Amino acid sequence: MALEFMVEASEVGQRLDACLAARLGVSRSLAARLIEEGQALVDGQPRKPAFKLAAGQNVATPEPEAPKPAELVPQDLPLKILYADEAIIVIDKPAGLTVHPGAGQTDGTLANALLAHYPELLGLGDELRPGIVHRLDRLTSGVMVVARTPQALERLTQAFKSHEQRRIYQAICYGQMPKPSGRIETLYGRHPKDRKRMSSRVSEGRQAITNWRVLKAWEGLSLLELELETGRTHQIRVHLSDSGHPVVGDPLYGGRSRLASIKPDEVRARVGAVERQMLHACLLGLKHPSSGEYLEFTSPLATDMRDLLDYLDAH
């Protein structure tokens, strides 16, 4: 099936291979190969991968055949179950565990582990995401819920779309906030130049709202409590980064350049050694999909975050 589109304002000036890769959801090398083979045309003419796009140009290319989804294999991986009944499973996800298979990872995920512990989830919803209604980033730890029945999956999916859940996180970020608490409300969408990233600095997009409160502050660093009113991809990480307070250890939106402001040297070295974003999902509140009863589930701070907080207090 062919793909044809007009160059949008956010894509003006992009290389053809980068834009095509983002549009097709493929690697840049594959996009470049399509272009070099003459299969991607701009206004009906073949171009080079480095060709810079202009507003209103028409791009057409055959869409590569989607790879057949890999079969989800049960794997007996450890899971920390906070709660389980006939309708839902609540999990304390560790940092480093990917929620479901995707590009570049076919196993070793939460979905694989769930299928081993709860084989009845097979066939519940998406083939590679059995029972999964929301996700946490691989490097984010904390509490999340999984549906166990078709009815629970439908109700929870709709509830998450409507932002009915209560979701509270804690994050260690760079800098000190200008006041004790606040609210970040922006438009939200793909980064205009890097399609792998999200941005709140866009002229059009969906609404994103994050409420924050300072729990503790040190010189050059802060511990925040953050409550989501919406649940956009990477929302907390982007809102804090775009506000000048990136999450410590964030590999995509983090502020490694901010390390120079951390004193003394041993504290700077300790913060610089952090291997994942210091972001933890502490609380999830929801209406039970069967009974309608409001329930809250909490997860204590992950050990690496707790250790860093203790170190900052001591130094």
18 — phi, psi (to 5°)? Answer: -65, -45
* Domain boundary pick from 126, 156, 186: 156
Q: Which member of 107, 137, 304, 310 is catalytic? A: 137
Where does a domain end: 115, 133, 156? 156
- Contact by Cβ (8 Å): 270, 311: yes
134 and 258 together in one domain:
no
The CATH number of the domain holding residue 21 is 3.10.290.10
| The pair of three-digit structure tokens given for residue 239, joined into one six-digit string | 């809102």
Q: What are the start-end ranges of the E strands in the chain?
A: 2-6, 41-42, 45-46, 58-62, 81-84, 88-93, 141-147, 166-174, 181-190, 198-199, 206-218, 221-228, 279-287, 294-298
Answer yes or no: is 73 within a domain. no
CATH of the domain at 298: 3.30.2350.10
pLDDT in tens, 194-249: 878 999 999 989 999 999 999 999 999 999 999 999 999 999 999 999 999 999 99
What are the tens digits of pLDDT across the range 86-126? 999 999 999 999 999 987 788 999 999 999 999 999 989 98
Output DSSP code: residue 107. S
For residue 114, give its domain range: 81-156
- Enumerate the β-bridge partners of residue 113: none
In terms of pLDDT, which residue wins out, 51 or 192? 51
Whether 137 is catalytic: yes
Could you read off the pLDDT of 174-186 as tens digits, one per residue? 999 999 999 999 9
- Alpha-carbon dihedral of residues 248, 311, 299, 131, nearest 10 degrees? 40
Q: What does pTM read for this prediction?
A: 0.78
Kindly state whether residues 144 and 217 are assigned to the same domain.
no
Domain assignment present for residue 308? The answer is yes
